[in-house]
Copies of this chain bind each other. A is one copy, B any other.
Amino acid sequence: MASPLKLAVIPGDGTGPEVTAEALKVLAAIAKLEGFTYETTTFDWGGERYLKTGETLPAGGADELRKFDAIYLGAVGHPDVKPGILEKGLLLELRFQLDQYVNLRPVKLFPGVECPLVGKGPEHIDFVVVRENTEDMYAGIGGWLKKHTADEVATQTAVYTRKGCERVIRWAFDYTMKRNNPKGKMLTLVAKTNVLTYGHDLWWRTFQDVAKDYPEVKADYNHVDACCMWMVKNPEYYDVIVTTNMFGDIITDLGAMIQGGLGVASGGNINPDKGGVSMYEPMGGSAPKYTGQNVINPIAAIAAMSMLLEHSGQPKAGARVMDAIQKVTGTKMKSQNAGKMGYGTKEVGDLVIAHL
């Protein structure tokens, strides 16, 4: 018998635990149907714990997580914790320590989900953003000269390495091959080569070099500003996008909006190397004002579980969950907004299970 899938679960703050509960309910159901076993271990990390103990990622925390096959994160963020603390101390810390160098963000409009763009349906919005997740301005390198004076100068340095961009670009090309878009395989590099003439020159050269190994994939390029326009005007243009950490942060959130908002968008922080441990999460925050009311949308959280399964050796289970999600959004839910779904949080979870 195969050994059980070992999951670390960080439900987090606010509505995080509620949506995590639905994702775990769906996991239980699909495991039974597909005949695999799993074990979960829960970690109480997040804002609540920080307020009690002053700890974000506890000492040895990342090592602890290395023992698992994958990590599931609900949402962290607490109104009493200063912005930046949990983001840097927990989320970014995990990405860096676990070297989760691929941030994978499918931008897919599910059937029945309201799209904010005129005339665009599920057939127009279905692409994937691969965001580099370990370098760039996220390095946290910078400083101040003459701080607090009228002559103050502040710097913030983006650092890129050949290794760092090559591995994510290669992964994106591989992903484009596997995705096998019937309209044609295309990988678009999104950067700003005409202004960031050092850092994005490295990206550009690396992209050209790696492209040679993938003659079947059209190697395309967009400036980041043009990409934002194009995502709104002509999202059907894209197949797969690969981009830097900073620009990826921006365009993935724009992507989340055109696919119907944070209630449906999920992402993976992936370390695809042997022994790498990846983390999957809904994109929405902890939405404290909706806590405990059974009104928050669990679709993104369930989609994150589907992604986790897809990338953790259970692709068939992942695909079945994804199918069920789309049946529920397409035939049942009135809206993807909290409190307007026509069902409660738990009922949406039940509906997905009923459609498995």
Q: A202 contacts the other chain (Cβ, under 8 Å)?
A: yes
- How many angstroms between the C-alpha atoms of A160 and B161 in the bound complex? 24
Surface stretch bound by B, among A37-45, A168-176, A227-235, A293-301: A227-235
Contact of A142 (CB < 8 Å), options: B161, B162, B199, B228: B199
Chain A, 136-171, CB within 8 A of any chain B CB: 137-138, 140, 142-144, 148-163
What chain B residues lie within 8 Å of A137 (beta carbons)? 158, 192, 195-196
Contact B116 A233 (CB under 8 A): yes
Q: What interface size band does chain A fall in?
A: 35 or more
Chain A, 58-92, CB within 8 A of any chain B CB: 83-84, 87-88, 92
This chain: how many copies in the complex? 2
Surface stretch bound by B, among A12-20, A211-219, A248-256: A248-256
Q: A257 contacts the other chain (Cβ, under 8 Å)?
A: yes
Q: Which residue of B lies closest to A161 (CB)?
A: B153
Q: A241 contacts the other chain (Cβ, under 8 Å)?
A: no
Q: Which of A154, A193, A247, A257 has the most CB of B within 10 A?
A: A154
Q: Given A118-B118, A196-B142 in contact, is the A202-B254 Cβ separation under 8 Å?
A: no
Q: Given A84-B197, A156-B196 in contact, is the A229-B202 Cβ separation under 8 Å?
A: no
What chain B residues lie within 8 Å of A149 (beta carbons)? 162
Q: A224 contacts the other chain (Cβ, under 8 Å)?
A: yes
Contact A156 B154 (CB under 8 A): no
Q: Given A253-B225, A254-B228, A254-B232 in contact, is the A83-B155 Cβ separation under 8 Å?
A: no
Q: A351 contacts the other chain (Cβ, under 8 Å)?
A: no
Residues of A within 8 A of B (CB): 83-84, 87-88, 92, 114-118, 137-138, 140, 142-144, 148-163, 192-202, 205, 224-226, 228-229, 232-233, 246-247, 249-254, 256-258, 261-262
Interface of A is mostly: mixed
Q: Which residue of B lies closest to A285 (CB)?
A: B226
What chain B residues lie within 8 Å of A154 (beta carbons)? 159-161, 198-199, 201-202
What chain B residues lie within 8 Å of A262 (beta carbons)? 229
Expressed in whole angstroms, the minimum distance between the Cβ of A99 and any Cβ of chain B is: 17
Q: Which of A157, A195, A197 has the most CB of B within 10 A?
A: A195
Closest 9 CB pairs of A and B: A142-B198, A156-B199, A225-B253, A154-B202, A152-B162, A84-B194, A229-B257, A228-B254, A157-B157
12 further A-B contacts with Cβ under 8 Å, apart from A137-B196, A151-B161, A232-B232, are A83-B193, A83-B194, A84-B194, A87-B195, A148-B205, A151-B163, A154-B160, A154-B161, A155-B159, A156-B157, A156-B158, A156-B199
Contact A202 B250 (CB under 8 A): no
Q: Which residue of B lies closest to A117 (CB)?
A: B116
